Amino acid sequence: METYGIEKLGIIGPKAVYHNLTPAQLTEAALRRGEGTLSNTGALVVTTGKYTGRSPDDKFIVDTPTIHDKIAWGKVNRPISREKFDAIRGKVAAYLQNREVFIFDGMAGADPADTQKFRVINELASQNLFIHQLLIRPTEEELANYGEPDYTILCVPGFKCDPEIDGVNSEAAIMIDYEAHMIVIAGSQYAGEIKKSVFSTMNYIMTDMNVLPMHCSANMDPVTGESAIFFGLSGTGKTTLSADPDRMLIGDDEHGWSERGIFNFEGGCYAKCIDLDEENEPEIYHAIRFGSVVENVIMDPETRELDFTDRSLTENTRVGYPVDYISNAQIPGVGGIPKVVIFLTADAFGVLPPISRLTRDAAMYHFVTGFTSKLAGTERGVKEPQPTFSTLFGEPFMPREADVYAHMLGDKIDQYGTKVYLVNTGWAGGPYGVGSRMKLKYTRAMVTAALNGEFDHVEYKHHEIFNVDVPQSCPHVPDEIMNPRDTWADKEAYDVAANKLATMFEENFATKYPNIAQHIVDAGPHAKH
């Protein structure tokens, strides 16, 4: 039996080893093994048990002298010793004895100059199908010349850690050894852990290659090749606004920005399914077909129809599918130098301008800050809007200090003259519960104007509290909504709320980034007392 070198990892005596099976073969294997069922559209539907999302408390980085000073240690990046890592890895390898093993040799990084090879070894056929669709799938020629992988991922959800013996926090452990180029995922069946481990790895290694790694979506003009980048946390409209029928979609989640342009790290999409409907998100809706993997969506056992409104397992229902299931996908996922960067925020306080232009330093400030807000009522105990700050719009996956990535962004803005805008997709006329959500058609019009360069020659007004420049007009948008204070009936109440949010920005920045240069601090919001 061909073992494809897995014995080097200590995996001895597997029952069977399957290498680079097709989606059809992997689907068949998953059904044979009882890992899932088929929906009425042919998608593989699985449940992931106890873990229906990422497990941030169970993520570790192996702490060695060569990488110690390169990592932003803390709540996000927790250290684990090489000894503990090797001990768990050895147990995982032993666990795979006399079991079926599925191997996928894939790649991350659509630009050949920066491509990294990832070998993913799975216990589950369904997870191997997932990562087959999410990473870049090599051609036959690339597979023939694949050689040794740059990184190996060992994903074994059936192995449960013992926290007391193994020195981890629960039965699950997601561990990255940057020095040994090895990742071990144990105890969690949530497939997103595999994808995010690839991303966390790329975010570490790309910076040494002068590539800025970004948690963002990206699209491009099909004629000029000029690209645009969209940063935003959940609920800000990142996926919706980047899915523009007049532009090609480069990718929806993870990209690098090199001297040649931008490129997708992935070959697939991992979309949320909660409340999915055909009218609002037709591309995602129709991507749920044979070859896709659907996680934790409730299905009628008779009709095999999916109920996207059912939250009984989790709010975080998902589907993984190859990017070429999207009709306007750019294949391969590469585009030109970004002409525009857009930071999206859903401000539930109702005080940020619907669009504003950022200076280089302000762009670095907002990149580091990664602001949006939770809505009252979305979580138990949330009575009023609460700010959410996620460093670099992807804090859980950024191993290095924030200023490393921020300065790379600043340098690229300088080098290429890229325009940067902050777009508020949240509230106007008052906070959540009083004001109203910004109409999507107005936001789309503002984004289109930014992409087309229509804000290059309009009048601007400086917002003193938020320290941004606000365009006073935009095609197809009423002038009266451009300045948020004008939309509030009570102007003094606006000033109080704006100052309150600005103070939250200041306090967050001072607490989390005490060592970032003063000129970046000065470019952020400043409350008026």
Per-residue pLDDT tens digits for 333-368? 999 999 999 999 999 999 999 999 999 999 999 999
Residue 97 CB neighbour total at 10 angstroms: 12
Alpha helices in 167-280 (DSSP H): 192-205, 238-242
Told to judge if 490 belongs to the known catalytic residues of this protein, a careful annotator would answer: no
State how far the Cα of 223 lies from the Cα of 208, in Å rounded to an integer. Answer: 32
Secondary structure (3-state) at 88: helix
- Which two three-digit tokens encode residue 121? 């070894």
Q: Are residues 111 and 173 in the same domain?
A: yes
The one catalytic residue in 238, 255, 339, 357 is: 238
Q: Are residues 469 and 361 in the same domain?
A: yes
Strand order in the sheet with 44-46: 37-38, 44-46, 293-295, 318-322, 268-272
Predicted pLDDT of residue 243: 83
**Bridging pattern class, strands 37-38 and 116-122:** unpaired
DSSP one-letter string for 444-478: HHHHHHHHTTTTTTS-EEEETTTTEEEES-BTTB-
**For 392-424, what is each residue's pLDDT tens digit?**
999 999 999 999 999 999 999 999 999 999 999
CATH of the domain at 203: 3.40.449.10
Told to judge if 253 belongs to the known catalytic residues of this protein, a careful annotator would answer: yes
The one catalytic residue in 215, 255, 366, 463 is: 215
Q: Are residues 179 and 235 in the same domain?
A: no
Predicted pLDDT of residue 374: 72
Q: Are residues 371 and 245 in the same domain?
A: yes
**For 302-343, what is each residue's pLDDT tens digit?**
999 999 999 999 989 999 999 999 999 999 999 999 999 999
Q: Is 102 inside any structural domain?
A: yes
How would residue 15 be classed by pLDDT, with cut points 50, 70 and 90?
very high
Secondary structure (3-state) at 441: helix
The one catalytic residue in 78, 132, 137, 318 is: 318
Q: Is 331 inside any structural domain?
A: no
* Among 74-88, 211-225, 268-282, 504-518, the least confident range: 268-282
Number of domains in the chain: 2
- Which two three-digit tokens encode residue 322? 């190859």
- Buried-state track 268-277, b at ≥16 Cβ within 10 A, e below 16: bbbbbbeebe
Q: What are the backbone dihedrals phi and psi of residue 269, each rounded to the nearest 5 degrees, phi first?
A: -130, 150
Secondary structure (3-state) at 61: strand
**For 277-298, what is each residue's pLDDT tens digit?**
998 889 899 999 999 999 999 9
393: alpha, beta or left? (left if phi > 0; alpha if psi -120 to 50): left
Mean pLDDT of 214-220: 96
Q: Is 328 inside any structural domain?
A: no
Specify whether the CB–CB gap between 66 and 204 falls below 8 A.
Answer: no
Told to judge if 380 belongs to the known catalytic residues of this protein, a careful annotator would answer: no
Query: How much of the chain exceeds pLDDT 90, in percent?
Result: 91
pTM flag (> 0.75): yes
Contacts 24+ apart (CB under 8 A), 63-69: 64/179, 66/179, 67/178, 67/179
Specify whether the CB–CB gap between 16 and 265 falls below 8 A.
Answer: no
The one catalytic residue in 217, 227, 239, 258 is: 239
161 to 49, 102, 157, 158, 169: CA distances (angstroms): 16, 21, 10, 10, 9
Predicted pLDDT of residue 335: 97
Q: Are residues 446 and 341 in the same domain?
A: yes
DSSP one-letter string for 15-53: SEEEES--HHHHHHHHHHTTS-EE-TTS-EEE--TT-SS
Q: Are residues 96 and 199 in the same domain?
A: yes
The letter for the amino acid at 107 is M
Told to judge if 318 belongs to the known catalytic residues of this protein, a careful annotator would answer: yes
Q: Is 264 inside any structural domain?
A: no
How would residue 375 be classed by pLDDT, with cut points 50, 70 and 90?
low
Told to judge if 390 belongs to the known catalytic residues of this protein, a careful annotator would answer: no
- Buried-state track 148-173, b at ≥16 Cβ within 10 A, e below 16: ebebbbbbbbebbbeeeebbbebbbb
CATH of the domain at 469: 3.90.228.20
**Bridging pattern class, strands 16-19 and 78-80:** unpaired
Residue with tokens 């020095």: 179
Specify whether the CB–CB gap between 487 and 477 falls below 8 A.
Answer: no
Q: Is 45 inside any structural domain?
A: no
The one catalytic residue in 234, 327, 378, 473 is: 234
Q: Are residues 365 and 221 in the same domain?
A: yes
Predicted pLDDT of residue 378: 42
Mean pLDDT of 168-191: 97
324: alpha, beta or left? (left if phi > 0; alpha if psi -120 to 50): alpha
The one catalytic residue in 27, 39, 48, 54 is: 54
Q: Is 259 inside any structural domain?
A: no
The letter for the amino acid at 348 is A
Predicted pLDDT of residue 383: 60
The one catalytic residue in 105, 111, 177, 253 is: 253
State how far the Cα of 106 lies from the Cα of 134, in Å rounded to an integer. Answer: 9
* Mean pLDDT for the chain overall: 95
How would residue 379 be classed by pLDDT, with cut points 50, 70 and 90?
very low
H or E segment and range at residue 404: helix 402-416
- Which two three-digit tokens encode residue 153? 């991922």
Predicted pLDDT of residue 3: 92
The one catalytic residue in 196, 357, 374, 412 is: 196
State how far the Cα of 367 lies from the Cα of 294, in Å rounded to an integer. Answer: 32
Domain encompassing residue 461: 217-252+337-522
State how far the Cα of 78 lies from the Cα of 175, in Å rounded to an integer. Answer: 9
Q: Are residues 193 and 64 in the same domain?
A: yes
Q: Are residues 175 and 230 in the same domain?
A: no
Q: Are residues 228 and 372 in the same domain?
A: yes
Secondary structure (3-state) at 90: helix
